[in-house]
């Protein structure tokens, strides 16, 4: 005979089972995320775009038909009558206003674009993780001080902060990377702190503390690995933002003035005087930026859904 108490217990048991992180038995969060991602068309499209982009960036110098810095058609460029040489055999997209092959610049530009995006994101990650670990791992007054600083940085519109930072630095590839990296620091810090705080009172951390594990191993071995998920999602999304923001900096004249090693955002910024008469100069780098930014965004969004147990429907 089933008593009232039994049904109540069964209900709690089933609730506890539903609350477990993965649907599949004995499968870790990351493993189950991967199983879901493998079948997710959104992730696959994003991953395909990004794989192609990274491959292109690696083999770019061998793939480009011409030297991207060589002013091959400079003889035809004339300020008044013909500022931008037209497409022709050997130059399928034509040349820019300095007679350099546009196709080669786009191909080689993938490399610099990837470098700017990755370094800015890594820079932001390093700063953000350090602050986040300090705040979330130590807590107390350290947490209070770090978070106040982070909140003030977040209280300035981020792109505006990037413009202001770039304005005090000598314009170069590094000033662009630094400006974009710094505006990501408070976002990563806040994110990691939040997700570490939720770890702090969880059973496995309490258990480790009860066993006498020291603070540093608890933070790095028990809290960080479980708190890093949202940070990875955010980093994927930041890769897209970094590439778009680099273009905005170039557009305002705060980008890298050295254009011998082209970057898509820089090419887009440099194309602005010709937009009404030669829109293709801006159009090609813009399409490249949008495609790659979309690729990172699709990957980030599908990763977010796969790692969030709540979104599993």
Partner 1 sequence: MLKFVIRRVLQMGLALFMLSLLLFAWLRALPGGPVSALLGERGSPEAAADLRAQLGLDQPLPVQYVRFVQRALEGDFGISTGVFRGQPALDIFLTRLPATIELSIFALAIALTLAIPLGYISARRRGGVLDTGLVISSLVGVAVPVFFLAFVLKYLFAVRWGLLPPSGYQTAGIDATRVTGFAVLDGILTREWDASWDAFRHLLLPAIALSSIPFAVIFRITRASVLDVMDEDYVRTARAKGLRAPVIRVRHIMRNALIPVVTIIGLQVGALLAGAVLTEKVFAFPGIGQALALGFETRDYPVLQVLIMMAAIIYIVVNLLVDIAYALIDPRVRTK
List interacting residues with partner 1 (CB under 8 A): 148-149, 151-152, 155-160, 163-164, 167-168, 170, 240, 244, 247-248, 251-254, 265, 268, 272, 275-276, 279, 282, 286, 289-290, 293-294, 297-298, 301
Nearest approach, Cβ of 150 to partner 1 (angstroms)?
A: 11
Burial of 152 (0-12, 13-18, 19+ CB in 10 A): exposed
Q: 63 vs 290, which CB is nearer to partner 1?
A: 290
Q: Residues 216, 222, 223, 229: what is their CA dihedral angle, to the nearest 10 degrees?
A: 130
* CB-based contact 227:196 (threshold 8 Å): yes
* CB-based contact 52:63 (threshold 8 Å): no
Q: 218 vs 289, which CB is nearer to partner 1?
A: 289
Nearest approach, Cβ of 58 to partner 1 (angstroms)?
A: 23
User: CA 67, CA 54: separation in Å to the nearest integer?
Assistant: 20
Q: 90 vs 279, which CB is nearer to partner 1?
A: 279
Nearest approach, Cβ of 254 to partner 1 (angstroms)?
A: 6
Nearest approach, Cβ of 294 to partner 1 (angstroms)?
A: 4
Nearest approach, Cβ of 184 to partner 1 (angstroms)?
A: 15
* CB-based contact 248:159 (threshold 8 Å): yes
User: CA 72, CA 104: separation in Å to the nearest integer?
Assistant: 12
* CB-based contact 233:303 (threshold 8 Å): yes
Nearest approach, Cβ of 200 to partner 1 (angstroms)?
A: 18
Q: 144 vs 206, which CB is nearer to partner 1?
A: 144
Q: 137 vs 269, which CB is nearer to partner 1?
A: 269
Rama region for 139: left / alpha / beta (φ>0; ψ in -120 to 50; rest)? left
* CB-based contact 231:145 (threshold 8 Å): no
Q: 129 vs 249, which CB is nearer to partner 1?
A: 249
């Amino acid at each position: 005979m089933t008593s009232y108490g039994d049904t109540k217990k069964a209900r709690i048991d089933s609730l506890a089972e539903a609350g477990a992180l993965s649907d599949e038995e004995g499968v870790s969060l990351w493993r189950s995320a991967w199983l879901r991602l493998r079948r997710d068309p959104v992730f696959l499209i994003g991953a395909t775009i990004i794989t192609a982009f990274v491959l292109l960036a690696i083999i770019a110098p061998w793939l480009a038909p011409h030297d991207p810095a060589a002013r091959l058609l400079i003889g035809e460029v004339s300020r008044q009558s013909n500022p931008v040489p037209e497409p022709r055999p050997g130059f399928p997209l034509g040349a820019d206003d300095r007679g350099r092959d546009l196709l080669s610049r786009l191909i080689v530009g993938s490399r610099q674009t990837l470098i700017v995006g990755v370094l800015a994101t890594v820079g932001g990650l390093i700063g953000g993780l350090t602050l986040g670990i300090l705040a979330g791992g130590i807590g107390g007054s350290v947490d209070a001080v770090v978070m106040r600083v982070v909140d003030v940085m977040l209280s300035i519109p981020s792109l505006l902060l990037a413009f202001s930072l770039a304005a005090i630095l000598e314009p170069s590839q590094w000033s662009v990377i630094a400006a974009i990296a710094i505006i990501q620091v408070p976002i990563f810090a806040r994110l990691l702190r939040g997700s570490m705080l939720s770890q702090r009172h969880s059973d496995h951390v309490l258990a480790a503390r009860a066993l006498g594990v020291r603070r540093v191993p608890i933070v790095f071995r028990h809290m960080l690995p479980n708190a890093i998920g949202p940070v990875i999602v955010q980093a994927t999304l930041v890769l897209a933002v970094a590439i778009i923001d680099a273009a905005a900096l170039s557009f305002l004249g705060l980008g890298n003035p050295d254009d011998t090693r082209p970057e898509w955002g820089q090419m887009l910024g440099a194309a602005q005087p010709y937009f009404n008469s030669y829109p293709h100069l801006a159009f090609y780098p813009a399409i490249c930026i949008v495609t790659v930014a979309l690729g990172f965004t699709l990957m980030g969004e599908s990763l977010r859904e796969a790692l969030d147990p709540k979104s599993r429907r």
